[in-house]
Chain A
Amino acid sequence: MENNSNEPLEKGNKGAHNLVILGIGSVIIALATSLISLYLYHSSGDIYLDCSLPGADCPSARASSDDNNREKVYVFSDSGDINTTVINEYLQEIEKTAERINNTIEALDSDVLTNESLGI
């Protein structure tokens, strides 16, 4: 009789015990996956390109949101004939992008880290 009355209590204790283990285990797994994600975020270099971080200002990223409208952005088709008209169009469009790249590189290639610029 006494054994029968103790059984539900033991089962209850075991259930509570398992619940605690589940809770702790979930927290540990969540922490581990968060740490792995942070490590990957850092090591891949994405953190240095994240324009959503506080204090980050990326006008070029804002401008690119307009470029996401594919009707405006030129994409050379990988099917169709090859003729001088098509190639001329290709050259016209690629030169626009090439000029943007050239301007960005010129702006980047400045003496910003010299002793004079930093006041050393």
Chain B
Amino acid sequence: MQRKKLVLFILLIVFSLSFTIKTFADSSISSEQSDNIENNCSSIKDTLKRVQNSDKNARVSLGRNFQVILADYITPLNVRLVKNNIFNNELANLQNEFSELREDFSRKYVEYSQELELLINTSCEESPAIFYDRLETTRTKRAAIIDSAKKLNTMIKKDIEIVTNLNESLGGEKDGE
């Protein structure tokens, strides 16, 4: 009997807290924003689905091209340099770093996709505040994948720079001969 009372008491506290949390959540957006979310719910959801599809398309394209860069350019060049007794630590480190960044990009995209999926499945009419909170989280995660993609792009430019310098040194050696 005492246990039942304890369980009921805990449930009462949790129930009360849920109202408090809802109140706090409501205060994170203005009433105007809340109204806009409720009124434009279907168009917002349509836009999010379009973003989801276009981001998927971009992810497929980037994933394929990053794979091409790693498997068809950076890695075979490093192997060929080693076979020709040319040791370049910068290129070897770049290969490892690029591979790690690529995995990080994939991981971040999965996190972003899960968040976006959750956002699309959230009812914006019933819980605009929760919807907005999830939207902010989705924005953060989307920014993270763009940042990751930019870092990979920077690595590719760095590879081009290193190889260009290598080419100049090869040209110099040839002239020296």
Contact = CB atoms under 8 A, between A and B. Distances in A.
B33 A94 contact: no
Contacts of A79: 79-80, 83
B35 to A, nearest CB: 10
Contacts of B153: 98, 101-102, 105
Given A83-B170, A90-B163, A98-B153, A64 B64 contact: yes
B43 interface: yes
Nearest to A46: B110
B94 interface: no
Interface in B48-82: 48, 51, 53-66, 68-69, 72-73, 75-77, 79-81
Main SS of the interface on chain A?
Answer: helix
Contacts of B138: 113
Interface of B: 33, 36-37, 40, 43-44, 47-48, 51, 53-66, 68-69, 72-73, 75-77, 79-81, 83-84, 86, 106-107, 109-110, 113-114, 117, 132, 135, 138-139, 142, 146, 149-150, 152-153, 156-157, 159-160, 163-164, 166-167, 170-171, 174
